[in-house]
Amino acid sequence: MFDKNLIVYLNGKYLKLEDASISPMTHGLHYGTGVFEGIRAYKIKGGVGIFRLQEHINRLFYSAKKLGLDISETKNEINNICKTLIQKNNLESAYIRPLVYFDDSALGMKIGMNETHILIAAFYWPKYLSNEVDVKISPFTRISEKSTVCDAKISGHYTNSFMATADAKKDNFDEPLLLDHDGAVAEGAVANVFFIRDKKLVTPQKGKILAGITRGSMIELANNLSYDVSEREIFPEELKDFQGAFFTGTASEITPIKKIMLLNNEEIIFDTKSTKDLQEAFVDSIGENSIDEKKWFTMIL
């Protein structure tokens, strides 16, 4: 997937990917003790811009603090590294992956034994999901706010997403939809979820989910389109009352859901056209002809 000549940033140096070595005894590799972000850059009017860069970097630092990772670079320095990587790799459209993790100084659960390392890569990556997806409710429960800091983007959390996705793919579905420990809808494997009924938009409330940055952008766009947006618990038995549904996320952007299979094997069919105005509003904000009216972009000059 990756060109060995891709330029990445590793602990203060710009290196070719093939020269960016990480110890096999890295603590983050063994225990998932790392945090990361997924950020996109788009070609818009005026050049290449990174979408909501500052919000992503703010969350990176929040997640790192929750895990006890001490990032030596400042937020502004990381912003500039992201810009530089796009320039060095000659990218007009990019996915940016900052990863902060504990090194190989020691294994085990003792705090303070390991140093913090940082890797940042920027590369071309198309939209993660297809244009429309079939979804099943996963038998795996979404990680709980009672067992971890569930609004931090911690690497180890994603074994939960990986297992749910593998289960969905096994049954020929595109994506899983995970419930929380109370049985309410939480989120997809790597995306937030919204449901539509007329001009009302409903999404799971903060506290039990990773409240995505694209999710927040969609709420803002929906408000501008005169949608009544509510954040609340949504239970599977309610899903038949909605007209449409879609995922939001950095990698998946806006992806309509065609159907959801419940745990009792009942299938809920959605009208994917019901999401059209919201999809168009998002595309208008990130497309090549878009102007950064909302100040969502950090331009690469």
Q: Give 99-157 pLDDT, tens digit per residue.
A: 999 999 999 998 788 999 999 999 999 877 778 999 999 999 999 999 999 999 999 99
Same domain? For 32 and 151 the reply is no
* Regions in the chain scoring below 50 on pLDDT: none
| pLDDT at residue number 220 | 95
d(CA 134, CA 173) in angstroms, rounded, equals 5
Q: For residue 36, what are the domain limits? A: 7-123
| pLDDT at residue number 100 | 98
Position 296 in a domain: no
Spatial neighbors of 237 by CB under 8 A, at least 6 apart, are: none
| pLDDT at residue number 126 | 82
Same domain? For 276 and 225 the reply is yes
d(CA 21, CA 294) in angstroms, rounded, equals 39
Of the residues 83, 136, 153, 208, only one is catalytic, namely 153
Whether residue 153 lies in the annotated active site: yes
How do strand 7-10 and strand 116-123 relate by DSSP bridges? antiparallel
How do strand 192-197 and strand 200-203 relate by DSSP bridges? antiparallel
| pLDDT at residue number 46 | 85
Position 223 in a domain: yes
Q: How many domains does the chain have?
A: 2
Same domain? For 35 and 177 the reply is no
Supply the pTM of this predicted model.
Answer: 0.95
| pLDDT at residue number 128 | 77
Same domain? For 59 and 164 the reply is no
Same domain? For 249 and 138 the reply is yes
Position 214 in a domain: yes
Same domain? For 104 and 138 the reply is no
| pLDDT at residue number 1 | 73
| pLDDT at residue number 150 | 92
| pLDDT at residue number 40 | 96
E runs forming strands in the chain: 7-10, 13-16, 34-36, 39-44, 47-51, 94-102, 116-123, 133-137, 175-179, 185-188, 192-197, 200-203, 228-231, 244-249, 253-261, 267-269, 297-300
